[in-house]
Structure formats: structure tokens, C-alpha cells
A and B are shown apart, each in its own frame.
Chain A
Amino acid sequence: MASNTKRSNVLPGFGLTLGFTLAYLGIVVLIPISTIFFKTFTLTWPQFWAAVASPRTIAAYRLSFSASIAGALVNSVFGFIVAWSLVRYEFPGKSLIDVMVDLPFALPTSVAGITLTAIYASNGWIGRYLAPLGIKVAYTPLGVAVALTFVGLPFVVRTIQPVLEDLDQEYEEAAATLGASRLQTFVLVIAPALIPALLTGFALAFARALGEYGSVVFISGNMPMHTEVVPLLIMSKLEQFDYAGATAIAVVMLTVSFLILLGVNVLQRWSSRRLTA
């Protein structure tokens, strides 16, 4: 038989769908993002450096990334537990809780911000009990992390849930018949199967937190050098008509986020490859 150089596929339309994908991504993602780079290129190197390496900008980067990572980590742990109880147990009000998980998606983030500020302020419902312990949430970096945790929760729950549902009970039963304790079963059998999904959930929650603006504005207090996140700094640059400065900060943010997400993606792919090879 003659060698078939053109690989044929059962489903036609590869060219069409790929073309559409590229055009769509171009219009929706690449072109808007490229303008950020073009605008930044109007700066000279010293100007660029001054914009992105000023102490105020560095502080904002540090807060944005650390609070986003903290929020995503907290969500990875507690989102996992939420997903676990939703999948594994039957209890009254289960579907209600299931719906509640999605609320952070639907709620306007500014509403979330105001609500969180109200209850975590030192005279708020929760804040008043934390204040005597010396824990201040509203108007501190901790408050920023709380807001970012709030907006990221659904991502972790919703990525783990279907995978956990697909995880057959047989694996746990097999581990038990082989003499494994509950803890050993969890650590050696269940957790490894969920790691790819957990990484995806983490990456999504992290990315969402990085870009979050609405809720943080209210709870952080926006003190430069202290509780100012990068999206906010960009906003204030824009208000001062420093468009190039704003895009310069955005370019750095974008590049670092891209690298982090790429890293998580590679990790995720590596960990899931063995499951599906």
C-alpha cells in the first residue's frame, strides 16, 4: 500500500475548526493583549524600569502574587473538602450547598467586597471577635487574601468534583482488602488520582485571583505599599493618564502569570500523563 502522507481523520473539518480557533483567539485574546505590549514599547528602557521597579509597584506585585497564591492554596485544601463531602455523602440540603458553591461566580464582586468588608471590619460580625485576638482582616493584606479566596472557591470545587465522582469506589475497596488503612488509602490511592484536577483548580483560582479588582478595592483600603494590589495600581495609573506606565506594569504581570500558569500546566500534564497513557 502506498504510504499515506496526509493523515485522514474520521471527523472532517480540522482546517475549518483550527482556523476558527485561531481567528477567535486572535480577536478576543491576542489582539487586545498585544496592544498592551505595543503601548509599552513607546516607553524607553529607563522609563519602563522606573514604572515597573518602583518600590510601590514592587510592593503591589508582592501582595498580588502572595495573596493570590495564598487564596488558591486555601481553596485547594478547603475546596477539596467541600467537593469531597458533596460527592461522597448524602445529607439534607446537599443540593443547596452545591448551588452555593457557584455564588462567588454570580455575585458582582463589588458586592462581595462590600459584604466581606462589613463583616470583617473591627466592628463587623466576625471582625469583632477577631479584633480582641489582635487579628485585623479588613484593610490589611489578610483581607485581600480573604477576598481572593472568596472569588476562587468555585474553581477548585468544580474541577475536583467530576473527577471525584468518576473515581470508582472499587479502588478504595481494593486498597482496604489489601490491608491499607483509611489514611493510607487516601494518601496513596485517592490523592494521586486527583492531583491533576487539583492543579487545574489551583491554577484557575490563582489566575482569577490575580486579576480580581472589584472585591479587593473595598476590603483592602488601597494603601500604597501596604494593601494595594496590581490591578488597583494600574487603575490609579490610568486615572493619572499614565497609560504607558499602566501597560508596563500589566506587561510584567502578564508575563509572570503566563509563566506560572504554564508551569502549573506542565506539572498537571506530567501528573495526568501516567493516568491516561
Chain B
Amino acid sequence: MSIELRNIAKKFGDFVAVDNLNLHIETGELVALLGLSGSGKTTLLRIIAGLETPDTGEVLFHGEDASDVSVRERKVGFVFQHYALFRHMTVFENVAFGLRVIPRRARPAEAAIARRVHELLKLVQLDFLADRYPSQLSGGQRQRVALARTLAVEPKVLLLDEPFGALDAKVRQELRRWLRRLHDEIKITSVFVTHDQEEALELANRIVVMNQGRIEQIGSAEEVYHHPANAFVYNFLGNVNLFHGRIENGRVFLGDTAVELENTHAHAHPETGKAVLYVRPHLLEIVMKPNGKQTFPATVKSINPAGPQVKIELVAEWGDMVQVEIDHERYQALHLEPGANVFLRPKEQKLFVYSI
């Protein structure tokens, strides 16, 4: 079922949670709402579910206005951040809940309910825990029970609020892949909220980057990561170094050093000429000799060789901290030590308007 949001706005007191937002989600898509806390992503998810009423605008399911359709009639599955499993019910009863509350004439027989519950528990690989209570399960297991409970009522749309937020890194990875496979299998239109860019990039067909109640960019992982629409998106998706500088007569000044940069979209502030240069740590190269106007001097502060890349922290000549990531081969060739004076060369960069 496709979802269409038209001019949705929602305020809590003076706080604008969602600001006149439009979004279309296709049938069968897996969409991530990505943003910091307070960006309005959870509010938006709750509006889709009908748990929150928008101040203005409408939600359409499959082209039909759902504004007057109550939560229980929307056929929307919602997985809560803290799962909201019913603590006094066993795993089995939790999953069966949605089937047991169906009006008597439409309710499946007890045997059919049991069959369906076991089917779902098998799907989430927890059939052996049917008789346990939620308090006896691990976080990852609870998450999967919550999902099974939601799927039991055969929702047309699946909404997940920070689905992996409360889990540790290892379990999160596994569940992420598992959810991806599950979605490929059952092809249900799904929207999940996350503040974890890695999660969004890995899992979603399309990513909606949100900031202060507005959409900054919508696109595939490839699009938002490699072609960010603006500084916010670039900054939010992955680590970046921020260099504060000026643009004068088409030349970029970082501190007192004029740096010549290629491929930049220089948009400095029209009056002050101030600009912020964003460079990802792996797009900075360390060289031992200056190379004209393409490099700037820096001093090595600390080195962290653990991990697939060597992370090096430096201080630029004008005082900004700089993070650089290089591969191990290059690191060994350079013989770097803390305190060494080196030069940095941006391989690619983006310039955006300094917003103050």
C-alpha cells in the first residue's frame, strides 16, 4: 500500500515538530526517516500510524484520505522503540493478541490462531520461546517478538520506531540484515525511523533526511551519500572535517593560507564572504612536501592504528582540529610520529555557505 503525506504540519506548543511536509512512499518500499532527535521523524511516523493527529495536511493510504480512520482501523503495524510487549502475557499470547481482539464473528478459531502464531514465531526464529514471558528474553529477542506480534494482524504498512536503538552493536548488525531479508520476502511497505546514518544507508531503499521538521533530501543511499543536497546532509551522513574560511575574489582562504581548490561549488556568504569547507577524513591526503597552493600545513597530534584504516588527528596551522583516515600501507610508508609536521591535500571537497 502506498503512503502519501500532503502538507503535514504538527506543533507541540511552540515547538514545530513537523513543518509543512510532503512525502510519497511507494508500495513495497523500505524507507528510512533519518535525522537527529527532535527532527520530527518519530512524530511523522506516529502521524502515519494515526497515533498523532496532524494540525494540518492529510495522510493518504493507497490514494485514499485516512484522516478520519482510527488507529485500530488503519491496518498499520507499529513496532515501538521499547517494544511495548505486554509483560503479563507469554510470547505466544503477545503474538496472538491482535488475532484475539478481532470481533467474534470474524475471529479465527483457536487452532487457526495457534497455527498462525507458531508460523510467525518460526519466521522470527523464536518458536522455542513461545511460553516465556517478555522479561525473560534478551533485547534482540523482544524486538523480534514485537515484530511477529505486529505482523500477526497482516498490516498493510509496517512502521518501526528506532527498531535497533536499544540493542548492542553486534545484535543490531544481525537484526538489520535479518530485517532486510524479511522485507525482501514479504514485500510490505515499511518505514523506519533512525538516527543512525549507517543503519539507514545499509537498510533502506530510500532515505529521507530530516532536520527541524523538514525534509533536507530524499534519495537512495548512493544519492544522499555521494550527492548530498546541502551542507546538513553531507555533515550528517558520515564524519566530516569542518574548516572555517573566507572566499575572496574566487580564492579560498583557510586561516591566512590561500588554498587552491578544484571542483568546488563555492557559495560563500554574500556579505561576509565566510564559508565552511567540508571534507571527509578519508578524502584528505597526507604528504610530506608542500605542493603549491593545493596543500596546507598541519601537525600530527595522535595516531590510532586500530581498525581497517589508520585514524590520525592533526592540528591545522590556523588551529582547527583535522581528522584524517589513511590506509595502513600509506601509513607505514610515511613513518608518521606525533609532532611531525606534514601537509594535507584535499582530494575532493564541498563548500557550503557559512550559515551565520
Binding site for B on A (CB under 8 A): 168, 170-171, 173-181, 184, 188-189, 192-193, 274-277
Q: Is the beta-carbon distance between B136 and A277 smaller than 8 angstroms?
A: yes
State how many residues of chain B have any CB contact under 8 Å with chain A.
27
**B149: chain A residues within 8 A (beta carbon):** 178
Give the top 7 A-B pairs by smallest Cβ distance, nearest first: A178-B98, A170-B84, A174-B84, A180-B101, A177-B78, A192-B88, A176-B71
Q: How far is the CB of B224 from chain A (nearest CB, A)?
A: 29
Could you give, for residues 62-101 of chain B, a 1 whenever the CB lies within 8 Å of some chain A CB and a 0 otherwise?
0000000011101011101010101110000000011011
- Chain B proximity of A172: nearest CB distance (Å): 9
Q: Is the CB of B87 within 8 A of A193?
A: yes
Measured between alpha carbons, how far is A177 from B102 in the docked complex, in Å? 12
Contact between B135 and A180, CB atoms less than 8 A apart? no
Chain B residues within 8 Å of A170, by CB: 80, 82, 84
Q: Does B276 contact A (CB under 8 A)?
A: no
Contacts of B86 in A (CB 8 A): 171, 174-175, 188-189, 192
Check if B88 sits within 8 Å of A178, measured CB to CB.
no
Chain B contacts of A177 at CB under 8 A? 49, 51, 71-72, 74, 76-78, 150
Provide the bound-state CA to CA distance between A24 and B97, in Å. 48
A-B contact pairs, 7 of them (CB 8 A): A171-B84, A174-B84, A176-B72, A177-B51, A177-B74, A177-B76, A277-B135
Which of A178, A189, A274 is B150 in contact with, Cβ under 8 Å? A178
Contact A274 B133 (CB under 8 A): yes
Judged by a CB distance under 8 angstroms, whether B258 is at the interface is: no
B80 pairs with A193, CB closer than 8 A: no
A188 touches B101 (CB 8 A): yes
Are A274 and B101 within 8 A (Cβ)?
no
Q: From residue B229, how far is it (CB to closest CB) to chain A in Å?
A: 33
- A168: chain B residues at CB < 8 Å are 82, 84
B135 to chain A, nearest CB (A): 5
Check if A179 sits within 8 Å of B153, measured CB to CB.
Answer: yes
What distance in Å separates the Cβ of A195 from its nearest Cβ neighbour in chain B?
8
In the complex, the chain A residue whose C-beta lies closest to that of B149 is: A178
Known contacts A173-B78, A175-B97, A277-B136; A180/B88 CB under 8 A: no
* 0/1 interface trace, chain B 23-56, chain A, CB 8 Å (1 if under): 0000000000000000000000000010100000
With A178-B150, A181-B101: A274-B88 Cβ-Cβ less than 8 Å: yes
**Contact of A180 with B84 at beta-carbon distance under 8 Å, contacts A174-B78, A188-B97 already known:** no
Determine how close the nearest CB of chain B comes to the CB of A272; give it in whole angstroms. 9
Q: With the chains together, A178 CA to B145 CA distance in Å?
A: 14
Q: Which of A171, A173, A193 contacts B71 (CB 8 A)?
A: A173
Evaluate contact between B78 and A180: CB separation under 8 angstroms.
no
B49 to chain A, nearest CB (A): 6
> How far, in Å, is A257 (CB) from chain B's closest CB?
29
Give chain B residues whose Cβ lies under 8 Å from the Cβ of A178: 72, 97-98, 101, 149-150, 152-153
Q: Write the nearest CB–CB distance from A274 to chain B, whole angstroms.
A: 6
Query: Which B residues touch A188, using CB under 8 A?
Result: 86, 97, 100-101
In the bound complex, CA of A274 to CA of B84 (Å): 16
| Residues of chain A within 8 A of B51, CB atoms compared | 173, 176-177
B101–A193 contact, CB under 8 A?
no
CA distance A35 to B11 in the complex (A): 67
